[in-house]
Amino acid sequence: MTRGVPVARTVAALRRAVARYRAAGETIALVPTMGALHAGHLSLVRRARRRADRVVVSIFVNPTQFAPSEDFDSYPRTFAADLAALRDVSADLVWAPASVEEMYPPGFATRVVPAGPAAVGLEDAFRPHFFAGVATVVTKLLLQCLPDVAVFGEKDFQQLRVVERIVADLNIPVRIIGAPTVREADGLAMSSRNVYLSAEQRAVAATLYATLSACAEKIREGQRIAAVMRQGRRAIERAGFRLDYLEARHAGTLEPIASLAEGPVRLLVAARLGATRLIDNIAV
């Protein structure tokens, strides 16, 4: 029988494990997750493996990035299956705080509140609590582990840009690596929240990526971005989604962009099917 992946339950245990790696002269990669791991998460772990001697995967469903109305309580938690999957991809250590209090002890009073790419009217407009929660927990995870590199998915494209900004602004000595989105066979971006979809919603969900791809293609062919976005919004709503946004943005700054000549373009979308909110994005 192969040995399971060791689990650190306290910051002190994490730091002891990391100190042992450092004493052996090893480099460290961190992959932050909220668990309910799927092939997208595991691709991040494999990427991390190629970039460092040791891979630490954190699993923490972070309450501060959920609004009271959101799905913190019902968010899928599959710890035993996560550990088995992480053993199969040779993760070295799981950092799974024993409790919310281990991460946010009594008296906790500091928040990292990002602006810049966190204030461009995308996720921030629909989930105003979200990026301060993410920024605070990611800053803590990076400082707890002090990895050489940390891997984040392009699936959460705005989040990736926000994390890059925080690390630059706060001089956190870590290299942030973005990893491509892993998709189901029909194009749907893998997400822990896809389990919420009914069979009928699951079929509709795939049209989101199809629409994104069609929009990107039209822009590449030279059609005007504003017109393509209008058509795309209509197509998404006609398919049965409630659309939060479909936007063309500068891939670096996430500011609005009117033409391909102004820089690399990224299309970003968020849309709801019943109670489930899906996000996705694509390079043009």
Which residues are marked as active site? 41
State which residue, 190 or 214, has the beta carbon closest to ligand AMP: 190
Query: Which listed residue (179, 228, 236, 257) binds ligand AMP by CB under 6 A?
Result: 179
CA distance 61 to 97: 10
Contact in structure between 36 and 60 (CB atoms under 8 Å): no
User: How many CB atoms are closer than 10 A to CB 228?
Assistant: 21
- CA torsion, ordered 187, 188, 190, 192, to nearest 10 deg: -170
Residue in 151, 146, 29, 147 with CA at minimum distance from that of residue 91: 29
Contact map string, positions 188 to 227, toward ligand AMP, x by CB under 6 A: -xxxx-----------------------------------
Decide if residue 133 touches ligand AMP (CB under 6 A): no
Decide if residue 155 touches ligand AMP (CB under 6 A): yes
Q: Please enumerate in sequence order all residues whose Cβ is within 8 A of that of 1, keeping only pairs 6 or more positions apart, or say none.
A: none
| Backbone φ, ψ for residue 182 (5° rounding) | -95, 135
CA distance 32 to 230: 35
**Minimum distance, C-beta of residue 238 to ligand AMP, in the bound complex (Å):** 25
State which residue, 32 or 232, has the beta carbon closest to ligand AMP: 32
**Minimum distance, C-beta of residue 12 to ligand AMP, in the bound complex (Å):** 24
Contact window for ligand AMP (CB under 6 A) among 37-45, 196-204, 232-240, 272-280: 37-45
The contact set with ligand AMP (CB under 6 A) reads 33-34, 40-41, 43-44, 152-153, 155-156, 179, 181-182, 189-192
